[in-house]
């Protein structure tokens, strides 16, 4: 069985507690500090409850973030909102 790889600062992981994807920003005690891909409020995660994402999963998560941001900035007529 392969030894699990410890996430390092800059790694993209999935927090299995809440299914959120984030980038490792650092450690606070025994906990990891994660930030959403698109920025925003950091949260703490148990290192035993995160999983490193593959390159394909990171790409998929980034595309999903961009699509969600795109939907938030368009109104019903398709024009950008201020």
DSSP the chain: -PPPPPP-TT-EEEETTTTEEEEEEEEETTEEEEEETT----EEE-GGGEEEPPHHHHHHHHHHHHHHHHHHHB-TTSPBP-
pLDDT cut 90: percent of the chain above it: 68
Q: Are 12 and 37 in contact (CB under 8 A)?
A: yes
Q: Is residue 1 part of a domain?
A: no
Q: Residue 65 sits in which domain range?
A: 12-73
Q: What is the mean pLDDT of residues 64-81?
A: 71
In this prediction the pTM is 0.78
- In a domain? residue 25: yes
Asked if residue 2 is part of any domain, the answer here is: no
Residue range 39-60, pLDDT digits in tens: 999 999 999 999 999 999 999 9
Per residue in 17-31, pLDDT tens? Answer: 999 999 999 999 999
Q: What is the pLDDT of residue 24?
A: 97
């Amino acid at each position: 069985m392969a030894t699990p790889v410890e996430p390092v600062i800059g790694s993209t992981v999935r927090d299995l507690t809440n299914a959120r994807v984030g980038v490792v920003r650092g450690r606070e005690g025994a906990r990891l500090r994660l930030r959403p891909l698109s920025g925003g409020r950091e949260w703490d995660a148990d290192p035993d409850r995160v999983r490193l994402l593959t390159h394909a999963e990171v790409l998929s998560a980034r595309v999903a973030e961009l699509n969600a941001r795109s939907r938030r900035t368009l109104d019903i007529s398709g024009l950008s909102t201020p």
